Structure 1
Amino acid sequence: MNQPISITAISSISPLGFQSESIWRNYRSNRHFFSEINGDLVAQLSEEAKQDIAKLRNSNSKYKQLDDSVLYGIYAARKAVQQAGWQAEDNFGINVGSSRGATGLFETYFKDFLDKNKAKPLSSPTTTLGNISSWIAHDLQTKGPEISHSITCSTALHSMLNGVAWLQSGLSDKFLVGGSEAPLTPFTIAQMKALKIYCHSEQSEESYPCKALDFNKTKNTMILSEAAAMACLELGKKEHALAFIEGIGYGTEPLEHNASLSTNADCFQRSMTMALGKLKPDDIDIIVTHTPGTVKGDLAEYNAIKQIFCNKIPALTTNKLKVGHSLGASGLLSIEMAVLMLNHQTFIDIPYLEQSHPKKISKIMINAVGFGGNAVTILLSK
């Protein structure tokens, strides 16, 4: 990192809520936020949040044609930019990605095509991955660069990497980054179930159906979630910053399988080492892990952490036991969790993981990885 980057605002809409106070309260609670759709466990937005999204959809005739993933992104982006005090004339950049994009609209359009053998006129422009950033830029009326991408479940943290690169280059001094995902659709859930990584419905009676960071589990327990999360980045150390990006890292590895990591998650070892830079591993107080709740995925990341931190592993935590896996948005939700812990100086523990709590919270590492072994690590400080 040539220069520190300030996170001057962060906003999300997820099953945890859409206001910072209620999100923090839900993190501190002993409950999860899973429910069922057609017998499958999922993490849905609250009814209040859904009503806000419905109001947004009906506020503009153009928005009625948009997928939920776009509306979630617009909603979270508006709140983040307002919190940061940015104006349209600032011409800030936007990089918002998604793993799956417009899943709901795509499935609806394709079913209609199968029934009528004819595609709807807007079926293409409203289902492209670039659709999210484009509509966010339209809604916020900024003329800065707008970028979209899909790097599966590490998408949101890759957005942050990209924003940092633009700021460090001097081509921009403000960047909105994040991810949005609305994957609670029949085909998307069926895809995860086909991979045999999804939580079984009989586990719904357990205290925590998603057993992320439980290294003794014998079944895969991943659960899909819908969410969008955005962060406002500014170059340099700002007095009003919520946190500072002190290090960034990324890593890839040769594919053993379309959906797998190597046993010791070599990509994570590379990304964590890069993010550490000249810092000592002992300097890290907490790691917010990616750990989606799968047997092999969770253990591979833990093996990577042990390789880097040896016998002095930082306190480990994740939000997935409460809110599941929001795919391309999940990394930014983890960033938000880290920012909340930094500012409240309180560690969010995992009830079934025996470990020591940090005595201080000054540096937190956040991990994300996607299909194909695309790992990203962000190091935050306060």
Structure 2
Amino acid sequence: MINPSSDAVVVIRGRGRVSALGLESDWNAAASPFSAHPAGLPVAALPAEAEAAVATLRQAHPAYRQLDRTVLLAILAARLSVASIANENNRATDNWQLATGNLAVSIGSSRGATGRLEEFHAEFLADGRVPAAASPLTTLGNVASWVAFDAGQTGAAALSHSSTCSSAFQALGNAVAWLRAGMADRFLAGGAEAPLTAFTLAQMRAIGIYSPFEATNWPCRPGAGRPSTFVLGEGAAVFVLERGSRAALQATGATALLLSGVGFGFEALGSKTGLSPDGQHFQQAMRAALQQANAAPTEIDAVVLHSPGTPAGDAAERAALRAVFGEHLPLLLSNKWLLGHTLGASAALSLDFALYVLETQTWPTPPFETDVNGPALRPVRRVLVNAAGFGGNAASVVVARL
């Protein structure tokens, strides 16, 4: 439990993202950003502009040519997060990178190097050979370690986390704990996932949750009820986190975005793909995040839902919300109808969406009937963000505008 009277805060200094909406952060799309995968399913793949940025990055260093797509997305998002600070301060990115001695990296990914692992396995089945680079290029740890390498890190730790679809919040929670303990001065923390392979899509289809709608017809529809409208996406979001002083920030009069609470939940279930009807793990995670943020439920203005478009999952999260907030819920928001479900990156991209809402007080309206992204109830100054995944785990984060 964080001492609520403490002056210490965790500040979100910068952020970068890459997703089906590209590299921008206005969170609007005139037409469905989904496309048809060769496997015959709708997916939320990167658009041409973002794809070109990934291709350029792959050629930026000889070692990068062999990296998995998940790793490249993480590096690209991390670079953009640092560049956002440079743009804000009108200074070169390299100036920020001079103080990397106590920079730490914490990146979440549900599956890690999906594409490269499948390629190496296919080669092994074909000729019985495995390249020497296969193992180091497919460990989960190589996601964070390459981000650290690209950022010029010269000390502290590079940590990779995997806890299915809440992986990014596991990474952020670790970063918050380290910053508050003084074990690092700043963190690059977030999540990345590039799961759009035929094998991964077949796994999602086998569960029986994939959307029946065409790519051009907004196939992912959280909060819309039946049928299930899960759609797989790819992307990454990374944040620059720093330890700061609330009093010092208030003295400047500048707007600051604070990561004020992180909470986790777990429910032991026989089915590792299921969850309880009342979302016990969601309830635990939300209450823990609120307690750490020293915030009452009535002080939360909006919730960015995990809500992947599966009827059972959507209903369980809403039941958990009613248990925590009562029948009068905060504004319910979602970005998955624009991005699909990006697995281990989804929580980070949801957080990026929450920060956009805090900064702009705006959000896009879905072109289908749903209970998300409705009209404003009141000014949004504090947002709770949810994430959950297979295995009965959930995580929640509270972010606020100072």
TM-score by length of 1: 0.93
> CA 1:119/1:29 → structure 2, altered by over 3 Å: closer, same or farther?
closer
Distance in structure 1 (CA, Å) of the matches to 2:216 and 2:82: 39
Aligned: 1:196 with 2:193: no
Counterpart of 2:195 in structure 1 is: 183
Counterpart of 1:211 in structure 2 is: 221
Aligned: 1:272 with 2:289: no
Give 1:88 deviation, angstroms: 4.5
Determine if contact 1:42/1:324 at 8 Å carries over to the other structure: yes
Determine if contact 2:223/2:370 at 8 Å carries over to the other structure: yes
Give 1:242 deviation, angstroms: 4.7
Counterpart of 2:23 in structure 1 is: 18
Aligned: 1:155 with 2:167: yes
Aligned: 1:78 with 2:79: yes
Give 1:118 deviation, angstroms: 1.4
Aligned: 1:90 with 2:100: yes
Distance in structure 2 (CA, Å) of the matches to 1:295 and 1:145: 40
Determine if contact 1:282/1:312 at 8 Å carries over to the other structure: no
Instruction: Name which of 163, 182, 185 aligns with 1:173.
Output: 185
Hey, which bits of structure 1, 4+ residues long, moved more than 6 A? Answer: none
Aligned counterparts, 1:1-382, within 5 A: 1-2=2-3, 3-19=8-24, 23-24=25-26, 27-38=27-38, 39-85=40-86, 86-91=96-101, 92-142=103-153, 143-200=155-212, 203-204=213-214, 207-214=217-224, 216-217=225-226, 219-236=227-244, 237=246, 238=249, 242-277=256-291, 278-351=294-367, 352-354=369-371, 356-382=375-401
Range with greater deviation from structure 2 (82-91 or 262-271): 82-91
Counterpart of 1:337, as a letter, is: F
Distance in structure 2 (CA, Å) of the matches to 1:30 and 1:273: 37
Distance in structure 2 (CA, Å) of the matches to 1:144 and 1:50: 31
Distance in structure 2 (CA, Å) of the matches to 1:93 and 1:272: 26
Distance in structure 2 (CA, Å) of the matches to 1:35 and 1:347: 23
Structure 1 residues without counterparts, runs of 5 or longer: none
Give 1:83 deviation, angstroms: 2.5
Determine if contact 1:102/1:127 at 8 Å carries over to the other structure: yes
Range with greater deviation from structure 2 (277-286 or 300-309): 277-286
Which whole-Å deviations, capped at 9, do the CAs of 1:45-73 have from their partners, x for residues lacking one? Answer: 01111111111111211111111111111
Determine if contact 2:106/2:158 at 8 Å carries over to the other structure: yes
Which whole-Å deviations, capped at 9, do the CAs of 1:323-382 have from their partners, x for residues lacking one? Answer: 101100010101110101110122444452355522211111100011112111111110
> CA 1:30/1:283 → structure 2, altered by over 3 Å: closer, same or farther?
farther
Distance in structure 2 (CA, Å) of the matches to 1:315 and 1:325: 21
Which whole-Å deviations, capped at 9, do the CAs of 1:88-145 have from their partners, x for residues lacking one? Answer: 4333110012111111111111111001011122111111111111111111111221
Distance in structure 2 (CA, Å) of the matches to 1:186 and 1:356: 38
Distance in structure 2 (CA, Å) of the matches to 1:199 and 1:170: 45
Distance in structure 2 (CA, Å) of the matches to 1:210 and 1:124: 35
Counterpart of 1:126, as a letter, is: L
Give 1:205 deviation, angstroms: 6.5
Give 1:4 deviation, angstroms: 2.1
Give 1:31 deviation, angstroms: 3.2
Instruction: Tell me the secondary structure at the aligned position of residue 135 of structure 2.
Output: coil
Identity value in percent? 38
Give 1:206 deviation, angstroms: 6.9
Determine if contact 2:100/2:152 at 8 Å carries over to the other structure: no
Counterpart of 2:79, as a letter, is: R
Distance in structure 2 (CA, Å) of the matches to 1:130 and 1:78: 19
Equivalences, count: 373
Give 1:307 deviation, angstroms: 0.9
Distance in structure 2 (CA, Å) of the matches to 1:349 and 1:166: 38
Give 1:243 deviation, angstroms: 1.1
Range with greater deviation from structure 2 (228-237 or 30-39): 30-39
TM-score by length of 2: 0.89
Determine if contact 2:9/2:258 at 8 Å carries over to the other structure: yes
Please report the RMSD computed on the Cα atoms of aligned residues, expressed in angstroms: 1.7
Distance in structure 1 (CA, Å) of the matches to 2:29 and 2:23: 16
